[in-house]
Amino acid sequence: MFVARRLIGVGLVVAVAAPLWGQDANGQDKTLVQEDSRLNSVYQQRVAQLRADPKGLTALRKQERDWIMQRDQQCGKDAGCLTQATKAHADYFETQVKQNDPAAKAGSPIPEMIRGQWMVKKVLPTKTIACWDQKQADAMIGTELEYKADSLRWKTTTVRNLGSTAATVEAKQFAEDNSGRGSQSSQVDFSQLGIATPTVQQITIEHPDVTIQDGSAGGSMEMPGDVVMMKDSDRLVFSVCNVYFEADRAGKP
């Protein structure tokens, strides 16, 4: 996911409402308590949106269980790590609630620089903690992404564009945003992704939430390709479940 909504933060992937170690509020960092409360509130809003979608709700709850295991592994009882992860996931859910509001309207079109068809070519080896195994990651190879001004398609799943943004991402900031603080946390930087330039363009596409039941996505609630970095004009990088992939523009060798 290169920004908080995928979250990426400390290498975690999806936000959930889960208790933070059952400590008394007086023993917790004030910011952690505030972010935990915000996360629980916005998570319940997302649950309410999925009441009429049993499959989506089931997938959301599975993602919650997976996230709890990853959070425990990466953060332990480190209040700083917990605060960072909780804030990123609360931000993610706020975005999801907004995107899935029936009143949401289309925003900026998807930039011309990525419009067209792209083929996923390879998995990029990174030092990340992923929620996919090798088989699930390999199943992405050879699948197709297609960008139009008003939509994004991966294989047979299409989502409408609610607004897209383009931003410059610096190498140092990317490494800080996508790597954890502990020795056992995810660590990823431009060099691992094969990016030699000091900055890249990152495209973020907002869209309604989607549950992908396709076997190669393992029932993921992430839409492949909704956040990408332009390696060059014919290659882009994106992540799903904290696994990084490279895609080439269709028709290029």
Model confidence over 125-172: pLDDT tens digits? 888 777 778 888 899 999 999 999 999 999 988 988 988 999 999 999
> End of a domain among 99, 123, 157?
99
Residue 17 has pLDDT above 70, yes or no: no
91 lies in the same domain as 116: no
Give the closest residue to 154 by CA, choosing from 236, 65, 49.
236
142 lies in the same domain as 167: yes
| Single-letter amino acid code for the residue at 26 | N
> End of a domain among 77, 99, 121?
99
Euclidean distance between CA atoms 187 and 176, whole angstroms: 9
Q: Which two tokens stand for residue 173?
A: 């900031």
Q: Please answer whether residues 227 and 3 qualify as being in contact, where contact means their C-beta atoms are separated by less than 8 angstroms.
A: yes
2 part of a folded domain = no
At residue 27, the pLDDT reads: 46
Give residue-wise pLDDT tens across range 67-88: 777 877 888 888 888 888 888 8
144 lies in the same domain as 212: yes
Report, in angstroms and rounded to the nearest whole number, the Rg of the chain calculated over CA atoms.
18
232 lies in the same domain as 149: yes
Question: What is the arithmetic mean of pLDDT over 93-97?
Answer: 78
82 lies in the same domain as 120: no
Euclidean distance between CA atoms 38 and 238, whole angstroms: 28
The string over 56-83, giving b where at least 16 C-beta atoms fall within 10 Å of a residue's C-beta and e elsewhere, is: bbebbeebbebbeebbeebbeebbebbb
At residue 123, the pLDDT reads: 94
Q: Please answer whether residues 198 and 171 qualify as being in contact, where contact means their C-beta atoms are separated by less than 8 angstroms.
A: yes
Euclidean distance between CA atoms 44 and 86, whole angstroms: 15
Question: What is the arithmetic mean of pLDDT over 224-239?
Answer: 94
Residue 232 has pLDDT above 90, yes or no: yes
CATH number of the domain that residue 171 is part of: 2.40.128
> End of a domain among 99, 122, 139?
99
38 lies in the same domain as 156: no
At residue 181, the pLDDT reads: 65
At residue 7, the pLDDT reads: 34
CA distances from 178 to 68, 122, 188, 212 (A): 18, 20, 6, 24
Residue range(s) defining the domain that contains residue 189: 112-249
Dihedral sign of CA atoms 24, 30, 36, 38 in order: positive
82 part of a folded domain = yes
The string over 164-194, giving b where at least 16 C-beta atoms fall within 10 Å of a residue's C-beta and e elsewhere, is: beeeebebeebeebbbbebeebbbbbbeebe
10 part of a folded domain = no
- If one counts the domains in the chain, the total is 2
Contacts of 102 (CB under 8 A, 6+ apart): none
Angle at 38 between CA 71 and CA 18, to 5 degrees: 35
